[in-house]
């Protein structure tokens, strides 16, 4: 089996792509898998760290504001499509998977023009531009939310959920608390702003450190690389009370296991992980994303009483009022946990690869 997986730009695209690749390799140990990303984006380092080869295209997205750079976009796209076509002609994949992001467009355009079967995976409840434009060229569209017929042809849709690391839910509190040096007698708040961090969450958390200390709350605060030096300095006076600033949390299974309540952005991957781990959550959608899709992700949960929502503009004033109130209300925590766990789709990755295999030639499937 030979497979190309294209896309990236953020962890929300990259981690699902790697999860799909891992499931393919589990079923087909001799599979040849090639990733195609955008030069200068995080997939160019994250994918090799996961053990896969990646080739970069010189492609960027359209700017949302009026910009002279947009005038060059058609030229860059055509060059990227030509390079993608050459890669496809050399590699000769049996199928192509697109996960969204800049690099998906040229790869899927080149592949479908050559009659190669293609599948796209849409992580969000509001479809991305690339996936919407390519929807009628591919054979299968795997989505994480119901009601996506608004964006895609209904006859190609499969509701699968988002591919996440299922081991994320395997962490045990008995291991997690000593791993982070936490006191089992005091509540734990986990704050995560996505793979790149989140300015609003970082600023609100820094301002709330004295309140958290006074309330006896312990904190695991993932800051992201850029904000970490400042956050480390801000948290240092509170270290004795287990208010910890962390640049990046590699053992997220243990972080989730330790947490009583989670404050998070509402990216598709984060939401899917919260469903799988069944954590009482307060979502603060980023306003700096296309079509405000994080708010739509959050609303998909809050409409089912599966999470709380604080708008980014209100976070400084109200986020920690709500977080402290929830930490002091075990009954509400149990209610939210039960409701969010009911939305989990733990077989998402396997279902996506099931759909992918249906597109392959019979000789490859066997």
Binding-site residues for UDP-N-acetyl-alpha-D-glucosamine sit at 10-12, 124, 165, 195, 268-273, 294
Helix/strand/coil for 171: coil
Query: What is the rounded CA–CA span in Å between residue 46 and residue 227?
Result: 20
Q: What is the dihedral of CA 360, 43, 165, 355, to 10 degrees?
A: -20
Contact 204, 221 (CB under 8 A): no
The neighbour count for residue 257, using CB atoms within 10 Å, is 24
Helix/strand/coil for 113: helix
Contact 133, 153 (CB under 8 A): no
Question: Which strands, in side-by-side order, build the sheet including 157-159?
Answer: 53-57, 32-38, 2-6, 95-98, 118-122, 140-143, 157-159
Which segments are annotated as binding site? 10-12, 124, 165, 195, 268-273, 294
Residue located via tokens 């469903």: 275
Query: What is the rounded CA–CA span in Å between residue 223 and residue 297?
Result: 22
Token pair listed for 216: 């006896």
Alpha helices in the chain (DSSP H): 11-27, 43-49, 69-91, 104-113, 129-134, 173-180, 199-215, 228-235, 252-258, 268-277, 293-302, 315-327, 330-341, 348-358, 362-365
Label residue 51 left, alpha or beta by phi (over 0 means left) and psi (-120 to 50 means alpha): left
Token pair listed for 25: 């390799």
Helix/strand/coil for 234: helix
């Amino acid at each position: 089996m030979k497979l190309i997986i294209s896309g990236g730009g953020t962890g929300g695209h990259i981690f699902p792509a790697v999860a799909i690749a891992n499931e393919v390799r589990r079923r087909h140990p001799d599979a040849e898998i090639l990733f195609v990303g955008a030069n200068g984006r995080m997939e160019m380092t994250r994918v090799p760290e996961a053990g896969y080869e990646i080739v970069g295209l010189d492609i960027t997205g359209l700017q949302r504001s009026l910009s002279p750079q947009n005038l060059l976009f058609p030229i860059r796209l055509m060059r990227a499509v030509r390079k993608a076509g050459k890669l496809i002609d050399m590699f000769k994949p049996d199928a192509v998977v697109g996960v969204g992001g800049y690099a998906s467009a040229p790869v899927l355009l080149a592949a479908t023009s050559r009659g190669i079967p293609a599948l796209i995976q849409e992580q969000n409840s509001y479809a991305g531009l690339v996936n919407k434009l390519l929807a009628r060229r591919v054979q299968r569209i795997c989505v994480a939310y119901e009601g996506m017929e608004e964006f895609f042809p209904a006859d190609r849709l499969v509701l699968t959920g988002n591919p996440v690391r299922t081991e994320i839910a395997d962490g045990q509190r008995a291991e997690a608390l000593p791993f982070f040096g936490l006191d089992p007698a005091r509540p734990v708040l986990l704050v995560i702003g996505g793979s790149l961090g989140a300015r609003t969450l970082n600023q609100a958390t820094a301002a709330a450190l004295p309140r958290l200390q006074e309330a006896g709350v312990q904190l695991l605060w993932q800051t992201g690389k850029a904000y970490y030096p400042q956050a480390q300095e801000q948290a240092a006076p509170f270290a004795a009370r287990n208010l910890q600033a962390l640049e990046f949390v590699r053992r997220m299974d243990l972080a989730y296991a330790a947490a009583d309540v989670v404050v998070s952005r509402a990216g598709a991957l984060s939401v899917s992980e919260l469903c799988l781990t069944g954590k009482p959550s307060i979502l603060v959608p980023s306003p700096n994303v296309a079509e405000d899709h994080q708010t739509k992700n959050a609303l998909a949960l809050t409409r089912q009483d599966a999470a709380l929502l604080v708008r980014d503009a209100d976070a400084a004033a109200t986020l920690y009022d709500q977080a402290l109130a929830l930490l002091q209300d075990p009954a509400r925590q149990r209610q939210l946990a039960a409701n969010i766990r009911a939305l989990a789709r733990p077989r998402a990755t396997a279902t996506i690869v099931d759909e992918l295999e249906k597109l392959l030639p019979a000789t490859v499937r066997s």
